[in-house]
């Protein structure tokens, strides 16, 4: 099995068959400017299908080379209510990576500062005041049970903002108990920031990845395999239900 490559680019995009042009997808609208950076609200679904499946909520040039140096991209579906946290994060991450700091280190530093800002949010303050136990916190993140699989795995639609405010700013898109220690055993979480028409692709990715990790395959290799099958499904959306069915038999 090949080692995972991050970020993973769409093959047609790498070959130049898909191009990024101003005024066209994935650009939706510019939402101001901070320092030298234009803040663009972009179509996250389009990016995941046609450019880079690993792009979820936000990005800057030194991680995603397809983003121009003077731009920050924030996915439209992730925008409402969390935009200020994302801009703060991108400013720090971009500055550090521009000076030669590797992504993993730059991300950790930016995430710590983002977490401090999130702890000032009304949601975080309200929940902190209630002082709930972990089980109660989990219940607050759950929005709706999407599906319970035959093997007892529960797939939940969750409140992504609450998870990022209270558990980890690094959570985005989807996840499961084999990767995130705050997710209960036998649960897969789907972020409510992901548009409904995209959720089955994320479900497929997470189920496939978790199945492989259950067999003691490393996260990197399991993620690589899940990325490939998700990309295939996005290019062949009529096959999504049968692909999911194959994973849960």
pLDDT score of 148: 95
Q: List, for the chain, all residue ranges whose pLDDT scores fall below the cut of 50.
A: 1-3
Give per-residue pLDDT as tens, 65-98.
Answer: 999 999 999 999 765 778 888 999 999 999 999 9
SS (H, E, C) the chain: CCCCCCCCECHHHHCCCCCCCCCCCCEEEEEEEECCEEEEEECHHHHHHHCECCCCCEEECCCCCCCCCCEEEEEHHHCCCCHHHHHHHHHHHHHHHHCCCCHHHHHHHHHHHHHHHHCCCHHHHHHHHHCCCHHHHHHHHEEEEEEECCCCCEEEEECHHHHHHHCCCCCCCEEECCCCCCCCCCEEEEECCCCHHHHHHHHHHHHHHHHHHHCCCCHHHHHHHHHHHHHHHHHCHHHHHHHHHHHHC
pTM of the model: 0.72
**pLDDT tens for residues 212-244?**
999 999 998 999 899 999 999 999 999 999 999
């Amino acid at each position: 099995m090949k080692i995972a490559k991050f970020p993973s680019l769409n093959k047609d995009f790498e070959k130049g068959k898909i191009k990024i042009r101003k005024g066209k997808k994935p650009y939706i609208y510019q939402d101001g400017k901070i320092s030298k950076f234009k803040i663009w609200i972009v179509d996250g679904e389009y990016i995941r299908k046609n450019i880079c499946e690993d792009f979820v909520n936000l990005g800057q040039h030194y991680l995603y080379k397809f983003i121009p140096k003077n731009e920050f991209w924030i996915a439209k579906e992730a925008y409402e209510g969390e935009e200020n946290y994302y801009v703060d994060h991108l400013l720090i991450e971009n500055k550090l990576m521009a000076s030669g700091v590797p992504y993993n280190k730059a991300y950790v530093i930016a995430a710590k500062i983002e977490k401090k800002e999130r702890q000032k949010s009304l949601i975080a303050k309200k929940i902190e005041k209630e002082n709930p136990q972990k089980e109660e916190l989990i219940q607050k993140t759950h929005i709706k049970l999407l599906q319970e699989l035959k093997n007892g795995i529960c797939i939940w639609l969750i409140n992504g903002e609450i998870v990022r405010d209270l558990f980890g700013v690094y959570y985005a898109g989807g996840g499961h108990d084999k990767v995130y220690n705050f997710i209960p055993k036998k649960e897969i979480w789907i972020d409510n920031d992901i548009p409904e028409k995209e959720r089955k692709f994320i479900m497929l990715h997470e189920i496939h990845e978790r199945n492989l990790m259950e067999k003691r395959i490393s996260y990197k290799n399991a993620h690589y395999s899940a990325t490939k099958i998700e990309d295939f499904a996005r290019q062949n959306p009529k096959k999504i239900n049968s692909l999911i069915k194959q994973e849960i038999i």
